[in-house]
A = this chain, B = another copy of it.
Amino acid sequence: MKLGIDLMGSDLGPSELLKAVVRFLNDYPVDIVVYGSDEPMIHHQRLTWVKTSQVMEMEDGPMAIRRKKDASMVVAVEDCIANKTDAVISAGSTGALLSAAVLLSKPLPSIERPALLANIPNAKQTVSVFCDMGANSSNTPDQLAQFAVLGHIYAKSMNQINQPTVGLLNIGSEQKKGDELHQEAFKKIKALSQLNFVGNLEGRDLLSGNVDVIVTDGFSGNIALKTVEGTVSAFGQLIKEAIMSTFLTKIGGLLIKKSLSIKKDRYDYRKHGGAMLAGVHHPIIKAHGSSDQEAFYHAIRQAYQIVEAQVIEKMKREFI
């Protein structure tokens, strides 16, 4: 297996991503091609470098892939499409990577809009597949039904769940709840007999782990995930303040510090890989823009497992 890695455009720079590449090369029997402006300082017999002259910046929008034909991200995606690599991983601009996926790899024939699909950790110490995380700013009922099938395939092949439960993020549990989009999507998903559809979910079910696949339009999905982020940050701040308030609370903080960090670990997004651009012809993985070595390592591992588990082939079988 050969994986293509875009080294440019992430917050922490190429050297941080390279550490993950080397660690991965030592752990897995793969070849890796890295794309970037400078030759890596690291040499490894299964590592090759493709020199590229441009960089996709975070502020680069979807149209930049037309202008920056020699950007590391674009060349990495093109090499994957030309079967020179089996998958691509990038921590660069989401908008640019999305448009590279849509314009170069192309959506599968029956997919109207590709989506960002990822595993999110939950209270049960498992993961739930979440789709769409925000690739789309609006969706149709048919598109939500397509996300349900993509999520189902991912949960089955990547998370090894035989009959994954599928839920629709909505504003109440009864079938009639929600706007027209979600009422229609409910019916369309329910009609898909191969799915184990359990009905509507609410925002409070997001981290419960009660369902294996969470289907959502990109707008609601983006709001929900960023709300989790904001809430975690507000409560982290609160706990910090509570611990720092007196001498005794500081001692208390020291006593629970390790235990708290072990428990918090289950929500560490870095251990769960990045997001897959689901619904296109090739495995394209978006790692978090601020990925450190640990996060990027798991994004590479995710790409490796997607290839191993033939996730794209399974999706193609459903949507071609």
B-contacting residues of A (Cβ < 8 Å)? 122-123, 134, 137-138, 169, 171, 177-180, 182, 202-208, 218-220, 222-235, 237-239, 241-243, 245-246, 248-249, 251-256, 259-260, 262-264, 266-267
Contacts and interface: CB of A to CB of B under 8 A. Distances in A.
A237 B81 CA distance: 45
Contact of A220 (B180, B223, B267): B223
Contact of A246 (B138, B204, B243, B259): B259
A99 to B, nearest CB: 15
Given A234-B208, A263-B241, A179 B223 contact: no
A259 B231 contact: no
A222 to B, nearest CB: 4
A227 B206 contact: yes
23 contacts: A137-B177, A137-B178, A138-B180, A178-B219, A202-B226, A203-B230, A206-B231, A207-B230, A219-B220, A223-B223, A223-B227, A227-B228, A231-B232, A234-B267, A235-B235, A239-B239, A239-B263, A241-B263, A243-B256, A246-B259, A249-B255, A249-B259, A252-B252
A256 B259 contact: no
Contact of A252 (B202, B205, B253): B253
A265 to B, nearest CB: 10
A216 to B, nearest CB: 9
A230 B251 contact: no
A137 B220 CA distance: 13
A36 B259 CA distance: 50
A245 B259 contact: yes
Q: Which 10 A-B pairs have the closest CB atoms?
A: A252-B255, A203-B226, A204-B230, A203-B227, A138-B179, A252-B256, A231-B231, A171-B222, A242-B260, A207-B234
Count chain B CB atoms within 10 A of each CB in A122, A207, A235, A238 and give the residue with the most.
A235
Given A137-B171, A137-B179, A204 B219 contact: no
A171 B223 contact: yes
A278 B227 CA distance: 24
B231 A243 contact: no
Contacts of A228: 203, 227, 231
